[in-house]
Structure 1
Amino acid sequence: MNRRHLLIASAGGLALRSHALNFANRPAPFPIRAEVDRIVDIAVGIRPFRAAGPRLALERHGSKALVHHYGHGGSGWSLSWGSAQAAMGLVAASGVRPGERIAVVGCGAIGLTTARTAQQAGLKVRLYAQARPPQVHSSAATGLWTPDSRIVTTEHATQRWAAGWEAMARASFRVHQSYLGLPSAPVSWHDGYVVADQDFDSPLPHYGQTPEPDYPDLQDRLAHLRPGSEPVPAGEHPFGTRAVRRFTQMVFNIPAYQRLLWEDFLREGGEWVPRTFRDGKELTTVAERTVVNCTGDAARTLYADVHMTPVRGQTARLIPQPEVDYAVIYRGQNCVALPRRDGLLVAATGAHDFGSADLRPDRAQAEAAVQRLAQLF
């Protein structure tokens, strides 16, 4: 199934479990002001999709050890901590000594959390990156917890692979929970609504999207980490006569999360060296004996990794509405909106995002996404 269709169909893979609910006296949510003149920012990033899943591997280059840690598709923020813990096992196998300094290359979600995990393990860290947040691809992510978003194709999702993915997802989930309740709200939980024009059994239109590979359904492995969705009676939501289900989902306020990770990294003695690498061989020219390659989509060209496919992602940010604290997934209309501290984020996807590394913002595409959202209200 196309991952985009899966997300819109089931609120990120949430089980559609029915419950007997008491909706009496529950106020309907405030409507979103989905107006194109309220767009204050359009951001574009590239998801580093790898058909076989993230690359976690240790290579020896003479006296240097290179740990590859990239290719997380649309699950970089969601899997970051658990994947970083797995990468630390390879760092330890490289022969690094307690208190030794290692190099981490790349400053996105995976690079930052790998650097922090290494510091927590008692290592010193020097980050090498061309840019630091917010000038990284991870800054353009929507911020929805989706640990299975374009993470692997069905043909590569063996039982052994899925067990490793589950361990990473659960480990990440535990760390994300430790960031709840902080003043900057880097991580928060929000209710949301999946909305369908007719019913949830109707087939989804394809809108002429570029064909994507088949992705496995992994959600049963994460049972009990979040509640299932629930039907919402007419009159208890602002979506007219449409069919609606209510869910609860974890959201990352990415600007606040990045800033907190960056400040913690520097406070713990971390160093940042601005540097551009022309090819993979240059990564082993740094001073440190152990190098962790967290370059994301850049690894596609640095190492000519033919297993990687760029997936373009674009978001439109609307002026904040503090009274709007819910997410919306408009099933069948390629429309996702999230409440964040920095504004209401609307996923502005296109028909040909899969396989595209085009970083140019598309204003028309962003406005179309906001207009689709406006149809709900």
Structure 2
Amino acid sequence: MNSDVSGEVIVVGGGVIGMSTALTLAERGRRVRLWSRDPVDRTTSAVAGALWWPYRIDPVERVGPWSLRSLRRYEEWAARPDETGVRMVEGVHAGTRLAGLGTWAAAVTGLRDTSRGLAARLPLLDMPVHLRLLREEAERAGVVMEARTVTSLDEALAAAPAVVNCTGLGARELVPDLSVRPVRGQLVVVRNPGVRHWYVSADEGSDATTYFFPQPGGLILGGTAEEDDWSLEPDPAVAAAIVRRCAAVRPEIAAMRVLGHRVGLRPARPTVRIEREVTATGRVLVHNYGHGGAGVTVAWGCAEEAAGLVEGVAGLDA
């Protein structure tokens, strides 16, 4: 049965990329339905450490502008942290220097070189709270949320003149796009011994990184970046290694009680794909996926670009 509703846009995928895209389209006056297999609190986005920072994502020349668009949103939301889950928090990127960053860094207030690394005051998101905010804001804007498992993008294209594919790792099968690959991230949540600042020491040549983020529910310790690993089960040996690395920076972490473990699969791709296709029937399919571990960082810039590719589609109301 064809349930085509003239003038609607269907966004497929309910993580931070799908939510931000749906909300952006609704803010531009579009009628939007969002199809998601999982509730927002069970998407990959829900387990993200969620510090704003362009990390392991290309193309570099586009990532900067995308990231800055998101940064401005988060800076506004940080005025209401309890409601939005966004706080501006001080921290250090160990081993990083200003001279090694792109031109986008000039637009980030307060970045400065120190003896420990690059000091910064950046958005840190409590993702369960923030994703609930996005869902509530999208619903207020008129986005209709539908729980739906999509086995083919043709299902959405049969139901609306324009579809935005925000399926992340699911794009590997749905497009299909075999260049989309999982990068497994494992985190440990411990009781916070009083750490107030975040810390990151990332080696892009290694699958192990060291970071900790103070969140309302505990101190988030990380992490890993294991390519082509599909396992969602926490590995006890990996968890122990994460705690050891973080405790080498802040020794008091070693004695803290473990509150939980998180595992997520980042949807990595050689470059982010934001692209428009026109089908043989004249329907428009816009892709917005492949953001790796930087989905939170680039979400709003990518959402605006993807929404712009929907403009002018026949059958859509202005």
Give the TM-score, by structure 1 length. 0.57
Residues 52-71 of structure 1 show CA distances to partners (whole Å, capped at 9, x for unaligned) of xxxxxxxxxxxx9xxxxxxx
Q: Which residue of 2 aligns with 1:144?
A: 51
Tell me the equivalent position of 1:338: 213
Displacement after TM superposition at 1:195 (Å): 5.2
Partner of 1:293: 165
Structure 1 residues not aligned, in runs of 5+: 1-63, 65-95, 202-216, 233-242
Between structures 1 and 2, the one with greater strand share: 2
Question: Any runs of at least 4 consecutive aligned residues in structure 1 with deviations exceeding 6 A, and if so which?
Answer: none
Deviates more, 1:324-333 or 1:263-272: 324-333
Q: Are the counterparts in 2 of residues 320 and 341 from structure 1 also a CA contact under 8 Å?
A: no
Structure with the bigger RCO (C-alpha within 8 Å, sep 6+) is: 1
Matched residue, 2:67: 169
Residues in 1 aligned to 2:145 and 2:240: alpha-carbon distance in whole angstroms: 37
| Whole-angstrom CA distance in 2 between matches of 1:312 and 1:253 | 20
Alpha-carbon deviation of 1:337? 0.4
- Structure 1 residues 63-212: aligned runs within 5 Å: 100-147=7-54, 149-152=55-58, 157=59, 162=61, 164-182=62-80, 183-194=82-93
Corresponding pairs, count: 240
Compared with structure 1, are the counterparts of its residues 194 and 225 closer, same or farther at alpha carbon in structure 2 (3 Å cutoff)?
Answer: closer
Over aligned residue pairs, what C-alpha RMSD do you find? 2.7
**Number of the residue aligned with 1:35:** none
Task: After TM superposition, give the deviation of residue 168 of structure 1 in Å.
Answer: 1.9
Aligned partners of 2:165 and 2:241: how far apart in 1?
Answer: 37
1:335 touches 1:373 (CA, 8 Å); kept in 2? yes
Partner-residue secondary structure (3-state), 1:188: strand
2:149 counterpart residue number = 276
Give the direction of change, closer, same or farther, for the CA distance of 1:360–1:331 in structure 2 (3 Å limit): closer
2:50·2:127 contact (CA, 8 Å) conserved in 1? yes
- 2:200 alignment counterpart: 329
Structure 2 counterpart of 1:314: 186
Q: Which amino acid aligns with 1:120?
A: E
Query: Which range moves more in the overlay, 253-262 or 328-337?
Result: 328-337
Give per-residue Cα distances to partners, 1:7-32, cap 9 Å, x unaligned: xxxxxxxxxxxxxxxxxxxxxxxxxx
Cα deviation, 1:163-204, whole Å, max 9, x if unaligned, reads: x433322222222222111133522221123557xxx89xxx
**C-alpha separation between the residues in 2 aligned to 1:127 and 1:185?**
21
**2:67 counterpart letter in structure 1:** A
Indicate if the aligned counterparts of 1:330 and 1:373 stay in contact, CA closer than 8 A: no
Identity %: 28
Q: What SS does the corresponding residue of 2:219 show, helix, strand or coil?
A: strand
Give the number of the structure whose alpha-carbon radius of gyration is greater: 1
Query: Where is the helix percentage greater, Structure 1 or Structure 2?
Result: 2
TM-score where L is the length of structure 2: 0.67
